[in-house]
């Protein structure tokens, strides 16, 4: 869409500022020059009634938050053909861009950032809103302090934790429970805050990894890298990065700790969660204060039956299967039949057989995740399976170790108990045809749409191998896909590491090898096409050079290399823009040098002319005076007249010189600047030569010629 040719409300859309999964943000200007950030819901979403409702809710939520900590709303029209919202335009870089370009924060600057962002979270949560995508790109460093932006996926307390199309958030800044699709509270924003502070203080993510899959695994089960976070802040950061949301401080407690230095309150009790009806779960009858609450953004659990006669879902187009047959065999009302184990209750149904329970858990995945994500519930389930039922088919490790990857645990349980069922993961058909349907379009992965994170959770070799254990007709192909995904990730990561080792401009660039994109390419090799370059010419040069590595590969390596190139697009764009800026600076410096050189030359000419006129004037007056004393009137008159003309010329030259070149301080400053430019030009030329050398080395790497000179 050409933003410059459009007008929304009173705003003329000047240029695009960014694009995400829900919409695109433009710089808008009114007739009087006032600026705003205008967000338009994607045209593909505009016809979706549910998305329109979400967009309207976003406007109302953002209006409830105090404007001092976010970009305030100026105008909005959720009912427009293409809904839009205009917010305050904030001059300044994002925290992400600032840290990349200027380096990590430290000292008072880091402390101010921590306090300001914690204040913003306290205000956001006080308005009954959970942001759910706090990250460095969503923090603007305005002149009057940091501002939290992009409420595009923020949700009010009564909304769900998962959108209609998948898990929402940004890998690397999402809390474990957010990745797992568990019940969410405002504690997810505190986890994101801790991750943001690690990045701000160190320049790297709290949970780094070479691939998306490894980063997901590290968030779920690994420890954060906080060693380089300054001591005064490190304790708060570690508290916020606790895997258990109940152990994290809330925003007011965090803010109090940062401002006063008082210890963070000892956590341990269950987080208070408000439902849509503001009913407090797991809390005493006395209303809790806001300081000790968590705002719920998860849906209520699967409805629990209060009567013992609940039937299972229909399985044959509306006709309900008998409780003793089919997938739910062994599930039903009443007491267990003689000789059978006592019942286990799940989703409002009584189960007496493990296989029937596994089938129900596959169908009611969120409720199953809640069981496996709660240590007490998991222990009760293990006790029933091992002690009451005496089942010997399920791996006991599922119940005897701390579960780090809850979704994978549910999938393993279902696959072990019911290998005859079709492979399903988080409600998605995980057969090969089902995967092809899910991964048919790479655009959600490239734009950051909510479905992208859902696909990343599925696109893991361990998940594919568990799905293959269902023993369906495509089990061998699923195992092959898992192996290819492993190999492709390794190849793509090695390609990226080769670039980082050999190219100066790629130092410390994190790998963005997206396993979901790899799986998309593996399932349909026809989708492996080079990305379209942007405006800077050098961007196309970089893409062509890197893509040559893809063209020279086949199979899993080709998919891995292609995903690496797509993951490197932010770096390519940055390098291309940097080269264009440096080239422009070199040209402007050359022009400035030529202009200053001519100006200084003119200054010197004026100086010479003034000196000459002053000398001539002085000499002429002297000659006139001597001639008058010698009674030579004609000679004296000529001398005095010449001196007068020379004096007038001197005055005129002084006025002209001052008018053209300023006072002596300005002229001296101009001369010093001219003398400094010859030192700057070699630095610019050297920088451009390093960029050209990087591109040449990348060409050799892309051609597959192996390591190059370091």
Give the Cα separation of 600 and 661 in Å (integer).
9
Q: Which residue of the set 2, 32, 77, 133 is catalytic?
A: 133
Interatomic CA distance for residues 98 and 101, integer angstroms: 5
Binding residues for ATP: 39
Please, what is the Cα angle at 126 between 66 and 37, to 5 degrees?
35
* 172 vs 192: CA distance, rounded Å: 8
Q: Contact 370/301 with Cβ under 8 angstroms?
A: yes
- Detail the residues annotated as belonging to a binding site: 39
The H-assigned helical ranges of 144-186 are 176-180
Q: How far apart are CA 28 and CA 522, in angstroms?
A: 41
Contact call for residues 139 and 196 (beta carbons, < 8 A): yes
C-alpha 357/C-alpha 337 separation (Å) is: 16
Report d(CA 391, CA 333) in Å as an integer: 21
Pure H helices in 524-632: 537-551, 555-567, 569-629
Nearest of 521, 508, 381 to residue 441 by alpha carbon = 521
Query: Which residue stretches of 384-514 are H helix?
Result: 397-400, 406-417, 432-438, 443-447, 450-458, 461-468, 475-502
Strand partners, 478: none
Encode 126-155: b = buried (16+ Cβ within 10 Å), e = exposed.
Answer: ebbbbbbbbbbbbbbbbeebbbbbbbbbbb
Q: Is 133 a catalytic residue?
A: yes
> Do residues 405 and 221 lie in contact, with contact meaning Cβ atoms separated by under 8 Å?
yes
**205 vs 197: CA distance, rounded Å:** 9
Which residues are designated catalytic?
Answer: 133
């Amino acid at each position: 869409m050409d933003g410059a040719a459009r007008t929304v409300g009173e705003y003329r859309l000047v240029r695009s500022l960014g694009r995400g999964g829900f919409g695109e943000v433009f710089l808008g200007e009114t007739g009087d020059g006032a600026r705003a950030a205008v967000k338009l819901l994607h045209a593909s979403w505009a016809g979706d009634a549910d998305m329109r409702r979400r967009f309207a809710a976003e406007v109302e939520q953002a209006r409830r938050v105090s404007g001092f900590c976010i970009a305030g709303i100026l105008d909005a029209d959720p009912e427009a053909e293409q809904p839009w919202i205009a917010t305050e335009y904030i001059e300044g870089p994002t925290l992400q861009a600032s840290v990349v370009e200027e380096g990590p924060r430290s000292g008072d600057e880091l402390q101010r950032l921590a306090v300001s962002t914690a204040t913003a979270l306290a205000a956001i949560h006080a308005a009954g809103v959970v942001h759910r995508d706090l990250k460095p790109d969503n923090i603007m460093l305005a002149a009057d302090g940091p501002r939290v932006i992009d409420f595009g996926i923020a949700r009010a307390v009564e909304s769900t934790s998962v959108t209609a199309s998948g898990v929402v958030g940004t890998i690397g800044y999402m809390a474990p429970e957010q990745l797992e699709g568990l019940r969410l509270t405002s504690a997810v924003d505190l986890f994101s805050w801790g991750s943001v502070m690690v990045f701000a203080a160190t320049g790297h993510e709290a949970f780094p990894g070479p691939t998306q899959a490894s980063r997901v695994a590290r968030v779920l089960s690994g420890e954060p890298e906080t060693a380089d976070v300054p001591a005064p802040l490190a304790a708060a950061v570690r508290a916020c990065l606790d895997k258990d949301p109940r152990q994290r401080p809330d925003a007011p407690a965090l803010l109090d700790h940062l401002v006063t230095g008082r210890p963070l309150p000892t956590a341990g009790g269950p987080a208070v969660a408000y439902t849509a009806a503001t009913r407090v779960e797991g809390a005493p009858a006395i209303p809790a204060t806001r300081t000790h609450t968590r705002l719920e953004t998860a849906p209520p659990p699967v409805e629990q039956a209060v009567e013992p006669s609940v039937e299972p879902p229909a399985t044959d187009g509306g006709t309900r299967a008998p409780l003793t047959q089919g997938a739910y065999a062994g599930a039903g009302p009443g007491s267990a039949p003689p000789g059978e184990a006592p019942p286990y209750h799940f989703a409002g149904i009584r189960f007496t057989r493990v296989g029937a329970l596994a089938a129900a858990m596959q169908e009611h995945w969120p409720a199953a995740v809640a069981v496996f994500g709660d240590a007490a519930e998991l222990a009760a389930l293990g006790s029933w399976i091992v002690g009451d039922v005496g089942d010997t088919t399920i791996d006991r490790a599922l119940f005897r170790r701390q579960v780090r990857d809850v979704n994978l645990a549910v999938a393993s349980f279902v696959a072990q108990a019911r290998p005859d069922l079709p492979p399903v993961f988080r409600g998605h058909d995980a057969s090969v045809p089902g995967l092809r349907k899910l991964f048919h379009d790479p655009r959600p992965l490239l734009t950051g749409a909510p479905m992208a994170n859902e696909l990343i959770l599925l696109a893991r070799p361990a998940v594919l191998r568990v799905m293959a254990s269902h023993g369906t007709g495509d089990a061998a192909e699923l195992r092959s896909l898992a192996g290819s995904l492993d190999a492709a990730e390794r190849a793509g990561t090695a390609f990226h590491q080769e670039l980082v080792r050999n190219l100066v401009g790629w130092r410390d660039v994190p790998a963005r090898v997206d396993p979901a994109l790899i799986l998309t390419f593996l399932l349909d090799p026809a989708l492996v096409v080079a990305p379209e370059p942007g405006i800077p010419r050098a961007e196309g040069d970089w893409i062509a050079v890197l893509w040559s590595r893809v063209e020279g590969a086949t199979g899993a390596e080709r998919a891995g290399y292609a995903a690496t190139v797509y993951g490197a697009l932010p770096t390519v764009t940055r390098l291309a823009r940097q080269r264009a800026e440096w080239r422009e600076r070199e040209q402007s410096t050359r022009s400035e040098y030529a202009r200053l050189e001519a100006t200084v030359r003119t200054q010197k000419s004026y100086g010479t002319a003034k000196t000459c006129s002053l000398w001539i004037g002085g000499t002429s007056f002297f000659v006139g005076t001597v001639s008058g004393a010698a009674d030579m009137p004609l000679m004296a008159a000529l001398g005095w007249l010449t001196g007068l003309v020379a004096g007038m010329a001197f005055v005129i030259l002084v006025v002209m010189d001052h008018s053209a070149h300023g006072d002596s301080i300005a002229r001296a400053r101009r001369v010093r600047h001219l003398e400094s430019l010859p030192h700057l030009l070699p630095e610019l030329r050297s920088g451009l030569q390093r960029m050209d050398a990087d591109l040449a080395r990348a060409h050799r790497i892309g051609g597959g010629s192996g390591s190059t000179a370091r």
